[in-house]
Amino acid sequence: MYEPADVETVGVVGAGTMGHGIAQVAATAGYDVTMRDIESEYVDRGLEEIDSSLERLAAKGAIDEEPATIRGRIAGTTDLADLADADVTVEAAVEEMAVKRDVFADLDALADDDAVLATNTSTLSITEIAGATDRPDRVVGLHFMNPVPVMEGVEVVVGEHTDGAVVEFAHAFADALGKETWESDDKPGFVTNRVLMPWINEGIRAYDEGVATRDDIDRGMRLGTNVPMGPLELADHIGLDVVLDASETLHEELGDRYKPAYLLTRKVAAGDLGKKTGEGFYGYE
Ligand SMILES: NC(=O)c1ccc[n+]([C@@H]2O[C@H](COP(=O)([O-])OP(=O)(O)OC[C@H]3O[C@@H](n4cnc5c(N)ncnc54)[C@H](O)[C@@H]3O)[C@@H](O)[C@H]2O)c1
């Protein structure tokens, strides 16, 4: 098993909200990064987001190198085979088991035998994803928080067959990216989403049932419980489709107390997914 210092190249699958953030922090930590999405327009959009995030961080004096230097370590691609040299790959594609299993089977076939394959899944079983590979001992959950360059925490999720040395590597690798970790067993929603998703859904139900205005629900939770965002603004920030996918998985696995709120389902059906579409519980420019 290698140490984070032995890692040269990091692969990232998915250039969306999480994927481009993970690529950015890995490049900022000095690793060469190859980021893959299925369409070149998604890759380009991810790279543009990285450019503007690095510019913002540079303006605040929060990064030690020039944005161009960090950005120069990131290559975008639509070809998964370009991740063949990656010592560790973090998958951040859509939250669908079939997609993740396909990605992991393909990565397993092309990556070095000792490469670590990590998934950023919010709720899906690490063990089931690992089952698509011949190296379930080298598959681990690395659950980054959104926005990745800002949030300091990473949840390390341990699958049924994850090797202890790989778990140790996952903590050390997250540490090398400037993050702090905690560990969860591979149970639905892990620690964070098991507790967070019912909180968000209850906020949406309270809004739908007229308990308070949208703003007062968020304000009440911010001021009343000292969290930086209330449930409705946080849902918009995460993406309502992502919240719904996570809630549905928890509902299937853990029963009715995790049923997604009706208004969440309706907004996703309407295509109002939060910040990323400009409309969710709030409107965005
Ligand atoms: N959004 C959050 O707050 C958050 C937080 C923690 C974890 N996650 C998890 O991270 C993962 C990604 O979420 P996101 O919010 O970045 O979603 P997103 O919709 O912003 O991005 C997903 C990207 O994956 C791409 N994709 C789909 N299939 C692919 C494939 N086979 N290969 C490569 N790319 C593929 C899509 O084109 C899209 O660009 C999900 O598993 C999600 O549950 C999300």
> Quick check: bond before 147 cis, omega within 30?
yes
> Which entry of 49, 91, 155, 248 is annotated as an active-site residue?
155
Low-confidence ranges of the chain (pLDDT < 70): 1
Name the one residue in this structure whose structure tokens are 């659950």. Answer: 143
Q: What are phi and psi of 13, to 5 degrees?
A: -105, 120
Instruction: Tell me the three state secondary structure of residue 158.
Output: strand
Do 97 and 122 touch, CB atoms closer than 8 A? no
CA 208 to mean position of chain CA atoms: 28
> Which entry of 122, 125, 184, 201 is annotated as an active-site residue?
122
> Which entry of 53, 120, 125, 193 is annotated as an active-site residue?
193
Do 19 and 37 touch, CB atoms closer than 8 A? yes
The answer to whether 143 is a known catalytic residue is: yes
> DSSP letters along 100-146, please?
HHHHHHHHHHHS-TT-EEEE--SSS-HHHHHTTSS-GGGEEEEEE-S
Q: Does the Cβ of 242 fall within 6 Å of ligand 1? A: yes
**Across the strands, what pairs with 140?**
118
Compute the distance from residue 216 Cα to the ligand 1 centre, in Å: 31
Name the one residue in this structure whose structure tokens are 């790989």. Answer: 166
Q: Does the Cβ of 258 fall within 6 Å of ligand 1? A: no
pLDDT of residue 1: 64
pLDDT of residue 2: 76
Do 104 and 125 touch, CB atoms closer than 8 A? no
Give burial (CB, 10 Å; 0-12/13-18/19+) of 185: exposed
Q: Is the ipTM of this complex over 0.95?
A: yes
Measuring from atom 12 of ligand 1, which residue has the nearest CA? 92
**CA atoms within 13 A of residue 274's CA, in its CB half-sphere:** 18
